[in-house]
Amino acid sequence: MAETSIHLLERIAGEAKLIVFHDGSKVTDTFFLTSTPVRGFERIVLGKNPLFVIEAVKRICGICHAAHAIAAAEAFEDAMGITSPPNGRILREVIGLINRVQSHITHLALILPDLVEPSNLNTLLIECMKLLGAVNEVMTRIGGAPTHPTNITIGGVLKAPTEAALKESLRRIGDVRKRYSVLQENILSSMNNSEKINLLKKHTIPDNIGFLASHLFYGDKYTINVKYVNVVRYEKYKGSSVSGEYKTTSMIALYNKHVVEVGPRARLSLFREFNNRSLIALQIARFIEIDIVLQRITELLERVSLTAPVRSIVMAYGYGRGVGVYEAPRGILIHLVELGSEGRVKQYHIVVPTMFIIPVIEHTLRGLPVKIVDVIPRLFDPCIPCSTHLIEV
């Protein structure tokens, strides 16, 4: 007879629970149910000026703030037929990549208790927080604020950094790269040889799960076919196995009707030669991504011009439809907008990485030992506030 266990998930972004059916040793089925209240950003922005929308969508999430602003800006620029000047595009990419490092380091602090020996945990956590503080300082200088950066706008960024701010940002990123290298080495040497870690090394994601990513660093709507993105209600995705007690506030996203993994491993698998499908490899992919992203930030900051334009000032307000595709920390993020005759928002839809991640978590858990159930959602790092779309009235 199947047994049931309910796990109120800890150390993830937002509120969710995992209902697990098992035979006493292995998982037979799961339900990943989110419970964060719906705030309705897609409704809030209807009828609003696009410049307001950029500021509003940052508030969808306290972690993925810059990612949402960049995806929105890309969507409006597509609808208006304008492009950012190269200098503005460079600075916008820097802001987005700093946001990715912020997110990965925050997640690292949350996953560390599952990975390392307890005797080393506090020291490693403190260094994570110090690194995050240093990265936040760079975001303040380039983005305008440590969270919800004010510098992102339609047509590029609002202003270029001063010469002093640029030099200090380069110095700090260089320091972060050195300290992160030491931190990563210390984490890897401190990883315990527990049964849990060995199981994470042994087990993989299912063979029928593919990868979806549009770019290694930024985002490219031409790399994917947005028409293939299928957004469905959780009940429709799960089918007849869902009863009234399994309510969730999240939608599910598939690609060409298939479950796909998005995020760090997907990006490295598609744009670098990374071919490890083990569960622990998802965290290894984040380690690698932090390193190459810090290197990319350095290269971009060295290309910033202090005198070249950073924004396209001309904006054509009127009818238009646009798509913004951006690689957020957790994976591919899509903003779709339709503008009315006065250039105000007529329709707005957002597809977030966690909508892809939820079915991957459920598929991956099937057949796994019950003893590692709790850590799997944390490895995939779902961001629940971003994914909340539904409430049953």
Question: How far apart are alpha carbons 28 and 226 in whole angstroms?
Answer: 33
Q: Mind listing the pLDDT tens digit for each residue in 363-379?
A: 999 999 999 999 999 99
Domain-located, residue 393: no
At 317, the pLDDT band (50, 70, 90 cuts) reads confident
**Which has more pLDDT, 43 or 245?**
43
Question: How far apart are alpha carbons 45 and 253 in whole angstroms?
Answer: 22
Domain-located, residue 142: yes
Other Cβ atoms less than 10 A from the Cβ of 207: the count is 7
- What are the contacts of 271-280 at 24+ separation with CB within 8 A? 271/213, 271/215, 271/216, 272/216, 277/204, 277/205, 278/200, 278/201, 278/202, 278/203, 278/204, 279/199, 279/200, 279/201, 279/203, 279/204, 279/205, 279/364, 279/376, 279/379, 280/197, 280/200, 280/201, 280/379
Number of domains in the chain: 1
Question: How far apart are alpha carbons 272 and 289 in whole angstroms?
Answer: 11
Enclosing domain of residue 303: 3-387
pTM here is 0.95
Residue 1: the pLDDT is 47
Domain-located, residue 392: no
At 35, the pLDDT band (50, 70, 90 cuts) reads confident
**SS3 label, residue 277:** coil
Q: Mind listing the pLDDT tens digit for each residue in 318-359?
A: 899 999 999 999 999 999 999 999 999 999 999 999 999 999
Supply φ then ψ for residue 332, to 5 degrees: -65, 130
Residue 393: the pLDDT is 44
Domain-located, residue 80: yes
Q: Given the DSSP bridges, would you call strands 156-157 and 251-255 parallel, antiparallel or unpaired?
A: unpaired
Residue 320: the pLDDT is 94
At 244, the pLDDT band (50, 70, 90 cuts) reads low
Question: How far apart are alpha carbons 383 and 374 in whole angstroms?
Answer: 16
Asked whether 124 and 183 are in contact (CB, 8 A), the reply is yes
Which spans in 225-279 are helix H? Answer: 234-238, 264-271
Block residue for tokens 């339709």: 338
Domain-located, residue 141: yes
Q: Mind listing the pLDDT tens digit for each residue in 51-68?
A: 999 999 999 988 999 999
In order of 5, 88, 231, 268, the CA distances from 257 in angstroms are 29, 36, 9, 23
Mean pLDDT of the chain: 93
Question: How far apart are alpha carbons 383 and 355 in whole angstroms?
Answer: 9
In order of 137, 160, 169, the CA distances from 164 in angstroms are 13, 11, 8
* DSSP E strands, the chain: 3-8, 16-22, 27-34, 152-153, 156-157, 210-211, 229-233, 251-255, 260-261, 320-328, 331-339, 345-351
Other Cβ atoms less than 10 A from the Cβ of 359: the count is 21
- CATH code of the domain in which 173 resides: 1.10.645.10
Asked whether 14 and 36 are in contact (CB, 8 A), the reply is yes
